[in-house]
Amino acid sequence: MERHYYLPHSPIEFHFRQSPRDFVVDEIPLYPFGGEGEHLVLHVRKKNLTTWQMVEILARHCGIKARDIGYAGLKDKNAQTKQYISILKKYEPMLESFEHEGIKILEKQYHNNKIRTGHLKGNRFFIRLKKVNPTSAYKIHEALKAIKKNGMPNYFGFQRFGIDGENYKKGKSILEGTLKEKNRKLHQFYINSYQSYLFNAWLGKRVQISKLVESFSVDELATVIPLPKEELALMKTQKHPFKLIHGDAMMHYPYGKLFHYEDDAEIERFNNHDISVSGLLAGERAARATGLAQTIEEEFDLISKGVDGMRRYGWIYPEEVEGYYKENEAWFELHFTLPKGCYATVLIEEIAKREIQNDESGDE
Domain ranges of the chain: 2-24+123-151+319-364, 31-118, 159-316
State phi, psi for 227 to the nearest 5 degrees: -135, 155
Average pLDDT over residues 130-141: 97
pLDDT band with cut points at 50, 70 and 90 for residue 257: very high
Distance, CA of 163 to chain centre:
18
Handedness of CA 140, 146, 149, 150 (dihedral sign): negative
What is the residue type of 323?
G
Average pLDDT over all residues of the chain: 94
CATH topology of domain 31-118: Pseudouridine synthase (3.30.2350)
Among candidate residues 253, 250, 280, the one with its CA nearest the CA of residue 264:
250
pTM for this prediction? 0.92
| For residues 256-273, average pLDDT | 95
Residue type, 218: V
The Cα 222–Cα 230 span in angstroms is: 10
User: Counting every residue, how long is the chain?
Assistant: 364
**For residue 314, what are the contacts with CB-CB under 8 A and spacing of at least 6?**
153, 154, 202, 203, 206, 242, 276, 277, 278, 279
C-beta separation of 362 from 129 below 8 A:
no
Q: Are 288 and 300 in contact (CB under 8 A)?
A: no
Q: Single out the residue of 79, 4, 3 nearest to residue 241, CA to CA.
A: 4
Q: What is the pLDDT of residue 362?
A: 32
| CATH superfamily to which 159-316 belongs | TruD, insertion domain (3.30.2340.10)
pLDDT at 127 over 60: yes
Q: Cα separation of 282 and 280, whole Å?
A: 5
Mean pLDDT value across residues 224-253: 97
Q: Which neighbouring-strand residues pair with 120? A: 29
Whether residue 360 is predicted with pLDDT greater than 50 in this model: the reply is no
Count of Cβ atoms closer than 10 Å to residue 162 Cβ = 15
Q: Is the fold of 2-24+123-151+319-364 the same as that of 159-316? A: no
* Interval 46-99: pLDDT, tens: 999 999 999 999 999 999 999 999 999 999 899 999 999 999 999 999 999 999
Separation CA 253–CA 274 (nearest Å): 5
What is 2-24+123-151+319-364's CATH number? 3.30.1360
Return the pLDDT at 162: 85
In Å, how far are 157, 164, 346 from 4, measured between CA atoms?
Answer: 13, 20, 11
CA 122 – CA 126 distance, rounded (Å): 14
What CA–CA distance (Å, rounded) separates 5 from 327? 27
Residue 83 CA, chain-centre distance (Å), reads: 17
Segment 290-346, tens digit of pLDDT: 999 999 999 999 998 999 999 999 999 999 999 999 999 999 999 999 999 999 999
Active-site option among 22, 68, 76, 219: 76
How far is it, in rounded angstroms, from Cα 139 to Cα 9? 8
Q: Is 263 annotated as catalytic?
A: no
